[in-house]
Structure 1
Amino acid sequence: MTDRLPPIAPEHMTPEQHVAAQAVIDGPRGALYGPFVPLLRSPELMQHAQRMGEYLRYRSALGPRLAELAILVTARHWNQQVEWAIHAPIAVEAGIAPGIVDAIAQRRAPAGLAPDEQAVFDFCMELQRDRRVSDATYGAALRRFGEHGVTDLMGLCGYYTFLAMVMNAAQTAAPPSPAAPLPE
């Protein structure tokens, strides 16, 4: 598979692309990689996306452990190898058990989820699979996380779906990772 929108050499970037790339490099990510490589073709879109992602990934009401779980469920739904390669190791570092990560990769319901993890898993699975969330699942998430947390959870699913669509269409290559690639 050929990367349709590979990295742009700095000398070929427009001034707007330079500004957008530098904003990502200067932020918490520290480098231009993953979805930001294809998104650089639309610098303004990339800047808006990176700001939303910075909030959702680093400061959401759910915290890093549950945000990473939502990201993994979304990456698996979209068979998104780049997001999986990046976020599977981060999820484990954030406190998601390796067995849970493996179960998601194999499209199995994970055993041993903590109650907050179960609420996130169920919500994300229903939203991705059914394109809606049942009253029971919504209520469980609302009781646990409140409206702010549920809104951030919807945002995580939507944002990482957007990134998955960008990278799947661009055929962005996955970086080296300690995580095994997602099985087809």
Structure 2
Amino acid sequence: MRLSSPRIPPLTDSEMDADQREITAPMAAQGRVINIFRTLVRAPKAARAFLAWGNYVLSRRNDLPPRQRELVILRVGYLCKSGYEWTQHVEIGLRDGLTSTEIPRIKQGADAPEWSEDDRLLLRATDELHHDKFITEATWTALRARFSEKQCMDLVFTVGQYTQVSMILNTFGVPLDEGQTLDPDLKGD
């Protein structure tokens, strides 16, 4: 985590107004409202727009298979040094098919041993987008030989969304949710 305390603290239930409670009600109905949304809801109009796009990226409308989507999200979280993002998506990634041996390997990137060619390409493309905001022609050509045009678009959408999410989390200082433990590789700068 980049900050030891939040710059913009998550709202408690009692601090939320009616509009903020309306936005978080579907989350509360599913069990809990996590700190990212308790923070974002301080700007209700932005939170609504953010949730609409974020729901696309995390839905079945995103043509990347869930396991590969989570591989990409975790790589972005690691590259952006976003402890909150990494922590949330390790749990999701494990549910969506990543293994406990693959999770730490994501930190090593595309050159780590044992990745499939598809995973290696997704990791390489994620790194290129992160570092240069562009996928090279060689990587794009390799992606297009293995993935549909829509999947390639969704890859870029996913990297872009989670880069933005990581910037929000890091800059606002969103704290981990109760019961979560920060990965030691993502402590501080």
Contact 1:124-1:157 at 8 Å conserved across structures: yes
Q: How has the CA–CA distance of structure 1 residues 92 and 165 changed in structure 2, closer, same or farther, with 3 Å as cutoff? A: same
CA RMSD of aligned residues (A): 2.2
Number of aligned residue pairs: 182
Q: How does 1:41-120 map to 2 (within 5 A)?
A: 41-59=42-60, 60-105=62-107, 109-120=111-122
Structure 1, unmatched stretches of 5+, are: none
In the TM superposition, what is the alpha-carbon distance from 1:164 to its structure 2 partner?
0.7
Among 16, 20, 23, the residue aligned to 2:23: 20
Contact 1:6-1:172 at 8 Å conserved across structures: yes
Q: Secondary structure at the match of 1:38?
A: helix
The match for 2:12 is 9
Q: How has the CA–CA distance of structure 1 residues 112 and 43 changed in structure 2, closer, same or farther, with 3 Å as cutoff? A: same
In the TM superposition, what is the alpha-carbon distance from 1:73 to its structure 2 partner?
0.9
In the TM superposition, what is the alpha-carbon distance from 1:105 to its structure 2 partner?
3.0
The match for 1:35 is 36
- Taking the aligned partners of 1:14 and 1:3, their CA distance within structure 2 comes to 21
TM-score normalised by structure 1 residue count? 0.87
TM-score normalised by structure 2 residue count? 0.85
Structure 2, unmatched stretches of 5+, are: none
Q: How has the CA–CA distance of structure 1 residues 147 and 15 changed in structure 2, closer, same or farther, with 3 Å as cutoff? A: same
Q: How has the CA–CA distance of structure 1 residues 25 and 110 changed in structure 2, closer, same or farther, with 3 Å as cutoff? A: farther
Of 111-120 and 85-94, more deviation after overlay is shown by 85-94
